[in-house]
Copies of this chain bind each other. A is one copy, B any other.
Amino acid sequence: MNYRFIINQLGLLLIVLSAVMGAVVLWVLADWLLGNASELQAVEALLTAAGIGLLSGGVMWYVGRKARSDTFGRRDALFLVAISWMVGAGLSALPFFLWVVFHPSVDSSHPFGNYVACYFESMSGLTTTGATVLSGDKPYDIESLPRGLLLWRALTHWLGGLGIVVLFVAVLPSLGVGAKKLFHTESSGITPSGVRPRIAETARILWIIYVVLTVAQIVLLRLCGMGWFDSACHTFATVATGGFSTYNASTGNPAINTPALIVIIFFMILAGANFGLYFHVLRGSIGSIFKDTEFRFYLVILAVASLIVTGSLLMNQPEITITNADVVETGVGNSALHGAFQVVSIQTTTGFATADFNQWPFLAKAVIVAVMFIGGCAGSTAGGIKVVRLWVMMKVLWAELEHVFNPNVIRPLRVGNTTVDNSLKLAVLGYVLGMALLVFGGSIVVMMLEHGNPRCDYTTAATASVATLCTIGPGLNAIGATENYGWMSTPTMAFLSILMAFGRLEIFALFVLVHPRFWMKD
């Protein structure tokens, strides 16, 4: 293992995170000059964290500056990726923690008084999960945080989303065990074998696409009447399919009107699609997006699930409870808006909530849990098993069925123009099974860790496991749309932080660290 280069790269990561914290401080100061005095609360915490990050990052970078990058192989890259999220969350948690340390006026029972809870929050940010430890009760709520911390919180999403897209599409396209290989061959313009051969070039294009999407959504939300600050924070959480809001009621806050919700739905759908597709758009070929098998299947699932949830709402209940506790009548308009918003938010693994879907009819909840597993497309910022894997899995199962009565028939399985070979089929089925086993095992561990806590029923534990592994955020019951993870014990929060990293890095990428051969010399 090339530890020297790994330390060097981790140092760079810490420096970048510190620089972003510094930028937040600059924004806070500017905001203060414009008249928001209370904002200065976060400055000390952010500056101290940035200082610690800069110092430790600088030392690490310096220690490893002479490392040879030409002996940096696949295992080193995997190890670096796995440890990056762990270490990055460690630094990103500091501003939250230090804010409580520096301000004795903040109640000492504030969730951020516990470093593990801060770590959970920042891991949730960087993995674009969006699960929070902040409750809805003052002074422990989201809206009581200084705006500097809210901005930093939203930026962890944005940085994590960018990181994962660049990682999976440009740096290690084969990391996404299977699904990425498909993408690899499908959109030839963006992979090492295609038109633009170099990682740096691909990463640059993705970065541009990401920024363009971000700017576009901020402007649109502003045009819908939201303030710049809220527009930016919600945009960071949208394009990263994260889910942190600046409001206690998430997107159910009346400040986000219906046009703004529709803008958010639209951008959640874009963020859950393969970013490689937008490369074609940049080249002017918009139609080619709709020729992509995965993208079309993705839209079909979103549409069908939204229809079922909308119908289920219309038929079963007279009222919909908004996350800010308002109640609206279940008309076609409200059902379609909240049904579609919730399906899109959950399937793209964003996790925004306009309505308390925990109170919805069973069928609606079942559909929501089902799309939790599915998630977005490969090469997006979304989590879950990914639409392309679902597609391949369905095709394989259908073929296995025919295999029972036609044992000698072999039909090639195609996704777009690519033929899926047996080893790729195995990778896909293995991934889905691995995810199912992790969800099952994860929910058992949560139940054990929360032993004796009456709030943690089976449904809570199982959906906590799915919601973190698939980087969604909210689940059902005690972690439902209007609830949070702050009531859990410290060990549970630590465990769920690890699950988030597992899910974000496509489970196997982190699991390899336990494989003895990973540490052996060949």
Contact = CB atoms under 8 A, between A and B. Distances in A.
Given A405-B515, A459-B458, A397 B434 contact: yes
28 contacts: A74-B407, A174-B407, A175-B404, A177-B400, A177-B403, A363-B448, A396-B426, A396-B430, A397-B430, A397-B437, A400-B427, A400-B434, A401-B508, A401-B511, A402-B515, A402-B518, A403-B427, A404-B512, A405-B512, A406-B517, A406-B522, A422-B422, A422-B426, A426-B426, A432-B433, A433-B433, A436-B436, A458-B459
Contacts of A451: 362
Given A426-B425, A433-B429, A404 B444 contact: no
Interface residues of A, number: 50
Given A430-B396, A432-B433, A459-B458, A402 B447 contact: no
Given A396-B430, A397-B430, A433-B433, A404 B448 contact: no
A402 B517 contact: yes
A19 interface: no
Most chain-B CB neighbours within 10 Å: which of A422, A427, A433? A433
A74 B407 CA distance: 9
A393 interface: yes
Contacts of A422: 422-423, 426
Contacts of A362: 447-448, 451
Contacts of A86: none
Nearest to A423: B422
Interface in A391-432: 393, 396-398, 400-407, 422-423, 425-427, 429-432
Nearest to A174: B407
A103 interface: no
Interface string A238-275: 00000000000000000000000000000000000000
A208 interface: no
A366 interface: yes
Q: Which 9 A-B pairs have the closest CB atoms?
A: A422-B422, A429-B429, A400-B430, A366-B444, A404-B508, A75-B405, A405-B512, A401-B515, A404-B512
Nearest to A430: B400
A302 interface: no
A509 interface: yes
A78 interface: yes
Interface string A478-522: 000000000000000000000000000000110110010110001
Copies of the protein in its oligomer: 2
Interface string A435-476: 011001000100110010000001100000000000000000
Contacts of A430: 396-397, 400, 429
A415 to B, nearest CB: 16
Contacts of A458: 458-459
Given A370-B440, A404-B512, 12 more contacts: A362-B448, A363-B448, A366-B444, A393-B433, A396-B430, A401-B511, A404-B508, A405-B512, A426-B426, A429-B430, A429-B433, A433-B436
Contacts of A370: 440
Interface of A: 74-75, 78, 174-175, 177, 362-363, 366, 370, 393, 396-398, 400-407, 422-423, 425-427, 429-434, 436-437, 440, 444, 447-448, 451, 458-459, 508-509, 511-512, 515, 517-518, 522
A428 B404 CA distance: 13
Contacts of A440: 370
A422 B396 CA distance: 13
Contact of A397 (B366, B393, B423, B433): B433
A431 B396 CA distance: 11
Contacts of A407: 74, 174
A177 B397 CA distance: 12
A372 to B, nearest CB: 12
Given A430-B396, A432-B433, A512 B401 contact: yes
A366 B447 contact: yes
Nearest to A78: B405
Nearest to A514: B401
Contacts of A426: 396, 400, 422, 425-426, 429
A79 to B, nearest CB: 9
Nearest to A421: B422
Nearest to A411: B517
Contacts of A405: 74-75, 78, 512, 515, 517-518
A173 B287 CA distance: 50
B400 A508 contact: yes
Most chain-B CB neighbours within 10 Å: which of A75, A177, A426? A426
